[in-house]
Amino acid sequence: MRRRASRDNHLITKVNVVPIIDVSLVLVTILLVTAPMLSIADLPVDLPKAHTREAEDQRNVSITRAIDGEVAVDRERVPRERLVETLRAALARPGNAGVLVVIRADAGVPYGEIRSLLGDARAAGARRLAVATRQNMGANP
């Protein structure tokens, strides 16, 4: 006759972590799904449309700032201290009412200087302002 092995009553000394991992993964999934919704304010907002190519097609007045500090309004180089009056005269020309003023600055120009140019354009009476950027046409800069 065979003798059956009796079961030994062992104490469970290891913690089963599978249920903890399952619950943790469910919580992480819920967090990843709801996080983008929490970052947007619950206010109705009508976002403006971008006008990238259209600005090139319409008449505009440009303020150009070189890396060495020289400033020009359209093609006319002007001293920095005479920028406001030169721009005011350019905006007063016939056909320039409500024209777009484009700030063209070298990439090395500090942001504070670009902000100053925007302030000068406002002081000269410009209502519509834009900052020119270079468009990426491909993967290579």
> What integer pLDDT is reported at residue 97 of this predicted model?
77
Residue 33 lies in a domain: no
Q: Which domain holds residue 74?
A: 54-131
Say if 105 falls within a structural domain: yes
Let me know if residue 48 belongs to a domain.
no
Distances (CA, A) of 95 to 91, 98, 99, 115: 9, 9, 8, 27
Identify whether 21 is part of a domain: no
For residue 43, is it within any domain?
Answer: no
pLDDT in tens, the chain (141 residues): 555 555 667 777 888 889 999 999 999 999 888 877 665 555 455 555 555 555 454 678 888 888 888 888 888 888 989 999 999 998 888 887 788 888 888 888 888 998 999 999 999 998 889 888 776 555 454
Residues whose CB is less than 8 angstroms from the CB of residue 117 and which lie 6 or more positions away in sequence, other chains included: 63, 65, 71, 83, 103, 105
Q: Evaluate whether residue 9 is within a structural domain.
A: no
Asked if the structure places residue 36 within a domain, the reply is no
Q: Please report the pLDDT score of residue 69 as a whole number.
A: 85
Distance CA 134, CA 56 (A): 12
> How many domains does the chain contain in total?
1
Q: Residue 75 is part of a domain; what is its CATH number? A: 3.30.420.270
Q: Answer yes or no: is 75 within a domain.
A: yes
Distance between CA atoms of residues 103 and 130, nearest Å: 6
Q: What's the Cα-to-Cα distance from 120 to each of 18, 63, 85, 124, 134, rounded to whole Å? A: 65, 10, 9, 6, 23
